[in-house]
């Protein structure tokens, strides 16, 4: 059974993420200890809340370098929601620098008639990398659960693995680059489809370990 470090910086939806990973056959370990993170077979960076407090918490626990080292290790890494946004250079939600692992910026949805902000509820993905391992055994253009007022805009559109449309705005919903994957939606809250995505990630961790 693979060991997946669920990185605890005080703001993640840790319980739900762990339950989903357990159902997928993994052994998740909630930790803020650099040595435990380094020894894991794969990594999940969850997130709930605002960008600046999340970055503050990550840095106050001296976890920034651990996250960067985990990604650089080549082992599978999955960011979720704010854990997705933190990978970028900066966010319009705050003033602090992000991790800068993926060049780009997090921007706020533009208000328009008939559109609610935050973008909250079930919405349909458009898969821009339909053959990516995250989407294995999913129906085409699945519905997942979103809660966010800001969206990430990568500098290189080639890293985009899926988009979502809210009103007239089509934005990045997932990225994938080598061992790094991240999603704006909450797979742990997205019923069968979300659990399948977590199971696909766990399967990738198992293949990489073996």
Q: Name residue 91's beta-bridge partners.
A: 106
- 188 flagged as catalytic: yes
Tell me, yes or no, if 153 is annotated catalytic.
no
Closest to 46 (Cα-Cα) out of 87, 11, 19: 11
Strands 90-91 and 77-80: unpaired
Q: How far is CA 67 from the centre of its chain?
A: 13
Secondary structure (DSSP) of 62-126: T-HHHHHHHHHTTS-EEEETHHHHTTSSEETT-SS----SS-EEEEEPPP-TT--SSEEEEEEEE
Of the candidates 119, 148, 166, 186, the residue annotated as catalytic is 186
| Catalytic residue, candidates 64, 93, 148, 188 | 188
Residue 160 appears among annotated catalytic residues: no
Candidates 64, 81, 93, 166; catalytic one: 81
Contact residues for 195 (Cβ-Cβ < 8 A; gap 6+): 20, 23, 24, 187
- Three-class SS of residue 185? coil
In sequence order, what are the residues at sequence separation of 6 or more whose Cβ sits closer than 8 angstroms to the Cβ of residue 59?
Answer: none
Q: How far apart are CA 44 and CA 30, in angstroms?
A: 10
User: What amino acid positions are annotated as catalytic residues?
Assistant: 81, 186, 188
């Amino acid at each position: 059974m693979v060991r997946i470090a669920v990185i605890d910086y005080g703001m993640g939806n840790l319980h739900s993420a762990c339950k989903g990973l357990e159902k997928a056959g993994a052994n998740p370990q909630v930790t803020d200890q650099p040595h435990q993170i380094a020894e894991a077979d794969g990594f999940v960076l969850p997130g709930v809340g605002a960008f600046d407090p999340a970055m503050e918490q990550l840095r106050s626990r001296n976890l920034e370098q651990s996250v960067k080292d985990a990604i650089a290790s080549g082992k599978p890494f999955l960011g979720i929601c704010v854990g997705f946004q933190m990978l970028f250079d900066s966010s319009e939600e705050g003033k602090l620098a992000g991790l800068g692992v993926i060049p780009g910026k997090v921007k706020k949805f533009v208000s328009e008639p008939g559109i609610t902000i935050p973008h909250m509820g079930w919405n349909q993905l458009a898969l821009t990398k339909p053959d990516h391992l995250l989407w294995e055994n999913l129906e085409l253009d699945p519905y997942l659960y979103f809660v966010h007022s800001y969206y990430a805009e990568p500098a290189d559109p080639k890293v985009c693995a899926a988009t979502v449309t809210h009103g007239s705005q089509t934005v990045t919903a997932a990225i994938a680059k080598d061992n790094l994957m991240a999603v704006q939606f909450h797979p742990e809250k997205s019923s069968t489809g979300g659990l399948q995505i977590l199971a696909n990630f766990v399967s990738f961790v198992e293949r990489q370990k073996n």
